Amino acid sequence: MGHWKRAILAGAAMLLAVGAAEAADVKIGFIVKQPEEPWFQDEWKFAQAAAKEKGFTLIEIGAEDGEKVQSAIDNLGAQGAQGFIICTPDVKLGPGIVAKAAANDLKLMTVDDRLVDNSGQPLEDVPHMGISATKIGEAVGQAIVDEMKVRGWEMSEVGAIKVSYDQLPTAVDRVTGATSVLEKAGFPAANIFNAPQAKTDTEAALNAATTVINAHPEIKHWIAVGLNDEAVLGAVRATEGVGIPASNVIGVGIGGAESAINEFKKPAETGFFGTVIISPKRHGYETAANMYDWIADGKEPEKLILTSGQLAKRSDYEAVRKDLGIN
Ligand code: FCA
């Protein structure tokens, strides 16, 4: 072997070694708005699986408000991270998050909730993975329409609790998807009652739904929709709180994580009839893996990926979860 050939080979070996050393140095942050919510714990779990597989470090951070988001990003910068994925507590923080990420030289991707600019338009330059909110909402609405038929309910005697959180566009799309299918099926628009929740958790939904139920003693049966399982569970708890039997309630959530599963595992059926299961595996594993490929190989992630969902009921949720690879 000639002198120069050996030199080239040595150079190539060195490059490989540098590449490997870099992989171990990659640090990626995964910031979520509600760390106590099972959906986000699942996202973290699957993001950690990507970290293990690819050999990078994943830093999990919960940030419930704008201030925590700002300090989380600064912390990541100080720790020498190269990028982060965020589900923000407030999509209007968009321009601020972009600026903070740039100031700390961090690559940025969003998950679940898409950042918006000052006029409410999505920040299309930031790679995002979300759910196909309208379609999934429509699946919720269809599941409820089908079950009302099975139970032989007169739609004029049914009230819909629409647990809403209008500052979050994906929440608006989800519930609007559901109510549009209801209305197309002949559900009276006047029987759809708005229950705005102050926060996206079960307690806030329970409070909002209780107000609606108390205001409408004339309603015989109740259905409930919302942006996630927690919202619908809050509405179901509200019906229980005023003594409405489960057979008079059809709630269908979105998510399919532990909150829904615990409900399905209860010995007696509750008003929580089903959920459209979405994939924390795709949202956690894929965003983390895509961020890694971006940092390590300069491979830019797709700007927008929307994932789908699948209806599951008490009777088949285990099979559906297995199907989606989220066991
Ligand atoms: C939003 C909701 C979460 C989850 C996620 C996909 O962030 O708040 O519960 O549904 O979208």
Tell me, in angstroms, the distance from the centre of ligand 1 to residue 211's CA. Answer: 24
Tell the residue nearest (CA) to atom 1 of ligand 1.
112
Structure tokens at 131: 């759910």
- Residue showing tokens 């699948």: 310
- How far is the centre of ligand 1, averaged over its atoms, from the C-alpha of 273 (Å)? 19
Asked whether 83 and 107 are in contact (CB, 8 A), the reply is yes
Distance 187 CA to ligand 1 centre (A): 27
Span 133-180, pLDDT tens digits: 999 999 999 999 999 999 999 999 999 999 999 999 999 999 999 999
> Which residue's CA is the closest to the ligand 1 atom numbered 2?
228
Q: What are 271-312's pLDDT values in tens digits?
A: 999 999 999 999 999 999 999 999 999 999 999 999 999 999
| C-beta of residue 122 within 8 angstroms of C-beta of residue 114 | yes
Q: pLDDT tens, 69-125?
A: 999 999 999 999 999 999 999 999 999 999 999 999 999 999 999 999 999 999 999
Between the CA of 231 and the centroid of ligand 1 the distance, in Å, is 10
Q: What is the pLDDT of residues 26-47, one digit of tens each?
A: 999 999 999 999 999 999 999 9
Q: Is the pLDDT of residue 19 over 60?
A: no
Report CA torsion sign: 208, 214, 218, 222: positive
Q: With 0.85 as the threshold, say if the pTM is over it.
A: yes
DSSP state of 266: S
> Among 172, 227, 232, which residue has the most ligand 1 atoms within 8 Å of its CB, making it the best to mutate?
227
For ligand 1, residues with CB inside 6 Å are: 37, 39, 87, 112-113, 131, 170, 200, 227-228, 254-255, 278
Residue 319: CB partners within 8 Å, gap ≥ 6?
Answer: none
Q: What are phi and psi for residue 79, nearest 5 degrees?
A: -80, -5
State which ligand 1 atom lies nearest to the alpha carbon of 229.
9
Ligand 1: residue whose CA is nearest its atom 3: 228
Other beta carbons less than 10 A from residue 298's beta carbon: 7
Centre of ligand 1 to C-alpha 73, Å, is 21
For residue 18, the model assigns a pLDDT of 47
d(CA 64, CA 108): 18
